[in-house]
Amino acid sequence: MSLKIGDTAPDFSAETTLGKIDFYDWTNGRWVILYSHPADYTPICTTELGRTAQLKDEFEKRNTSVLALSVDDVESHRGWIKDINETANTQVEFPIIADSDKTIANAYQMIHENASSSVTVRTVYFIGPDKKIKATITYPASTGRNFAEILRVLDSLQLTSEFSVGTPVDWEDGQEVVISPSVGNEEIPERFPKGHREVKPYLRYTPQPNK
């Protein structure tokens, strides 16, 4: 049975490149990106972890901690990090979980048997401060992740958790958003003082409230 949006993210204890962590304590009220890698010393993963490290300030601006997972051990991870730092001209400062027995990978359904019985697919879990799964993106092992999209989804999740809005197609941070159908027209002036425009009674746009 797969994890779904709204489910509570499974807790776990794990050894990482930054020491042992207890996941729930480690989150410390922040948003979390938890994502998996098929194995150490693989080319696509190397580029992804390098990009993650380069985006450190972007994740920090969003009060988000990043946690990577690979089924190899900590010593392998540490050797791999040297390659990542060199090839991406960066410094990996976030923890990488050692999951040799695949306990965490299995708890988060990161192994898809029809793709591989032993290697994780490229799953991304967006986990809120309430430890609930807010979104997931899964790629096959052969396809590298789009971190612009990961940041965009994170922006949308954080915005829509605070305001009664949704983000329309191809939305990017700073653009208009859609007022939720649950908000009556009479409520709009107070809740969205920047104004709004109505395209259809069910399609009402307003400037992004937190900008």
**Residue 98: CATH number of its domain:** 3.40.30.10
Residues 43 and 100 in one domain: yes
| Domain end among 146, 173, 194 | 146
Residue 3 lies in a domain: no
In tens, the pLDDT along 74-105 reads 999 999 999 999 999 999 999 999 998 889 98
Which residues are catalytically annotated?
45
Lowest mean pLDDT among 74-78, 123-127, 142-146, 195-199: 142-146
Give a yes or no: residue 185 inside a domain.
yes
Q: What is the arithmetic mean of pLDDT over 124-133?
A: 97
Q: What pLDDT is attached to residue 119? A: 52
pLDDT tens digits for 173-211?
999 999 999 999 999 999 999 999 999 999 999 999 999
Residues 133 and 196 occupy one common structural domain = no
Do 130 and 174 belong together in one domain?
no
Residues 196 and 124 grouped into a single domain:
no
Chain-wide mean pLDDT for the chain? 92
Relative orientation angle of helices 147-162 and 43-54, to the nearest 10 degrees: 50
Full domain range(s) for residue 96: 13-146
Higher-confidence residue of 42 and 126: namely: 126
- What is the structure's pLDDT at 117? 39
180 and 142 together in one domain: no
User: What average pLDDT does the segment 14-38 reach?
Assistant: 95
The count of domains in the chain is 2
